[in-house]
């Protein structure tokens, strides 16, 4: 199928496509839309940047137009769940464009924004609600909306929702939805937990898979530069100085580290902003708007921006810190080389991150070309040398352990370890 005309979309939807630059369906759109228009449940496997939003959004608007009825107070006719605020915003903008000129009301609810304003907006009911799971549950707990009349459900980037711990929330939401509904689940990967989620949400689904998991876009030039952790900031500045005026996206692993890097780059004279979990929704939206408009040239972000950020002019992605989830690498670098343009992605790898790099290459089934620094050489033990142990690994011949890792005494009973003062562990969240 070479165009949208023969996919079963409504005339009103088709009239909106040229204005938003949709002229030819992508593979996921061409394969998924006809099944969705017919009312089938669908499991879609596709990488970021393949046009998934239009794949479920266009037929959803078509079906709502054909349904014809207006929503009742506090009701939601179609629900789209997304893992991050940024992706929810991106979906909302796109669906609003698809429904332009129709009576369909589209609304987005995310954390970081006034819940009282959201409660007030939902009183009239909405045709399409785009939500992050946490904020949706807050609104449901307040009685601000009901899902009893929801006939259309989309879980977008479902694998990421599982990664960040939304599985229990998703199960709660599923119990509040009517059985008689159409459900679409889109994911970039298919871990075992995803299969369980699909089994509980979908009924006799069509399975559509395009772009093998782990494969990056062909127009992205990739490279890895080996560097000590303390030298990364200076190396990043050197790279960005070679491309003045071009938009660059820099990924860090933690909120605090990303904010610190942003302030350092700002002190060095770069036009830079940052988005992460410690920023309010208003701050994140303003910063993204400035980046999209080219008012700031460098955006430092955690993985909140790894999916759903669609800015065609991003030319460079720098993985300042390698992700500890290998699949996130492909999502990160997928922020460049969009809309048919070229892009580059450079990964900075410290000695402690070599294991993360190898895991990424294994997931991609291809090595990343080395473009700088000294490649670490695996150490070969000398004859007669003691074998090196990993941290926490017991030496050969160590005494057997009892339950919960407690050492066993000679008579087979557990030794009671000496009491230690309790200390609450400190951790740092990634997003």
At 200, which helix (H) or strand (E)? helix 192-201
CA 325 from chain centre, in angstroms, equals 11
Which pLDDT belongs to residue 215?
A: 60
Q: Measuring CA to CA, which residue among 25, 48, 43 is closest to residue 211?
A: 48
* Domain residue spans of the chain: 11-209, 220-372
Given the candidates 3.50.50.60, 3.40.50.620, 2.60.40.10, 3.40.50.300, the CATH classification of the domain at 11-209 is 3.40.50.300
Homologous superfamily of 220-372: P-loop containing nucleotide triphosphate hydrolases (3.40.50.300)
CA distance 430 to 421: 28
Would you give per-residue pLDDT tens digits along the chain (431 residues)?
568 999 999 999 999 999 998 999 989 999 999 999 999 999 998 776 678 999 999 999 999 998 878 899 999 999 999 988 888 998 999 999 999 999 999 999 999 889 999 999 999 999 999 999 999 999 999 999 999 999 999 999 888 787 667 888 988 998 999 999 999 999 877 767 778 788 888 999 999 988 655 566 667 899 999 999 999 999 999 999 999 999 999 999 999 999 999 999 999 999 999 999 888 888 988 999 999 999 999 999 998 776 667 788 899 999 999 998 888 898 889 888 776 678 999 999 999 999 999 999 998 889 999 999 998 765 433 444 444 444 444 444 444 444 434 444 444 444 454 544 444 443 333 34
Which pLDDT belongs to residue 80?
A: 97
What distance, in Å, lies between the first and last C-alpha atoms of the chain? Answer: 40
Which pLDDT belongs to residue 57?
A: 97
What's the chain's Rg over C-alpha atoms?
A: 24
Q: Tens of pLDDT along 27-42? A: 999 999 999 999 999 9
Which pLDDT belongs to residue 370?
A: 96
Which pLDDT belongs to residue 160?
A: 78
Q: Which residue has the tokens 């000695």?
A: 351
CA distance 176 to 75: 12
Which pLDDT belongs to residue 208?
A: 92
| 220-372 matches 11-209 in CATH topology | yes
CA distance 268 to 251: 18
Q: Which two tokens stand for residue 279?
A: 């920023």
């Amino acid at each position: 199928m070479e165009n949208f005309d023969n996919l079963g979309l409504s005339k009103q939807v088709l009239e909106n496509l040229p204005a938003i630059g949709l002229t030819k369906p992508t593979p996921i759109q061409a394969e998924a839309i006809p099944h969705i228009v017919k009312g089938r449940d669908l499991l879609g496997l596709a990488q970021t940047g393949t046009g998934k939003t239009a794949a479920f959004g266009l037929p959803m608007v078509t079906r709502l137009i054909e349904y014809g009825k207006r929503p009742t107070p506090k009701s939601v006719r179609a629900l789209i769940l997304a893992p991050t605020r940024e992706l929810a915003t991106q979906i909302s903008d796109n669906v609003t464009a698809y429904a332009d000129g129709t009576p369909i009301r589209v609304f987005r609810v995310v954390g970081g924004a006034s819940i009282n304003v959201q409660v007030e907006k939902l009183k009239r009911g909405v045709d399409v609600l785009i939500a992050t799971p946490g904020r949706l549950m807050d609104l449901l707990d307040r009685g601000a909306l009901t899902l009893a009349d929801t006939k259309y459900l989309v879980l977008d980037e479902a694998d990421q929702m599982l990664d960040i711990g939304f599985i229990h929330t998703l199960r709660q939401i599923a119990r509040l939805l009517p059985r008689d509904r159409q459900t679409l689940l889109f994911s970039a990967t298919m871990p075992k937990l995803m299969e369980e989620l699909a089994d509980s949400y979908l009924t006799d689904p069509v399975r559509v898979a395009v772009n093998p998991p782990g494969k990056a876009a062909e127009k992205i030039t990739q490279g890895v530069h080996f560097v000590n952790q303390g030298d990364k900031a200076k190396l990043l500045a050197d790279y960005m100085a070679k491309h003045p005026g071009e938009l660059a996206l820099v990924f860090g692993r933690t909120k605090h580290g990303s904010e610190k890097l942003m302030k350092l780059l700002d002190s060095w004279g770069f036009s830079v902003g940052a988005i992460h979990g410690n920023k309010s929704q208003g701050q994140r939206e303003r910063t993204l708007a400035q980046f999209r408009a080219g008012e700031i040239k460098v955006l430092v972000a955690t993985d909140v921006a790894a999916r759903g950020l669609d800015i065609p002019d991003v030319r460079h992605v720098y993985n300042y810190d390698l992700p500890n989830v290998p699949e996130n690498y492909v999502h990160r670098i997928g922020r460049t080389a969009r809309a048919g343009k070229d892009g580059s992605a450079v990964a900075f790898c410290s000695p402690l991150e070599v294991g993360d790099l190898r895991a990424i290459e294994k997931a991609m089934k291809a090595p990343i070309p080395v473009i700088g620094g000294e490649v670490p050489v695996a150490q070969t033990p000398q004859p007669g040398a003691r074998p090196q142990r990993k941290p926490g690994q017991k030496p050969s011949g160590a005494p057997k352990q009892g339950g919960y890792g407690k050492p066993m005494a000679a008579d087979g009973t557990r030794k009671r370890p000496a009491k230690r003062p309790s200390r609450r562990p400190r951790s740092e969240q990634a997003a």
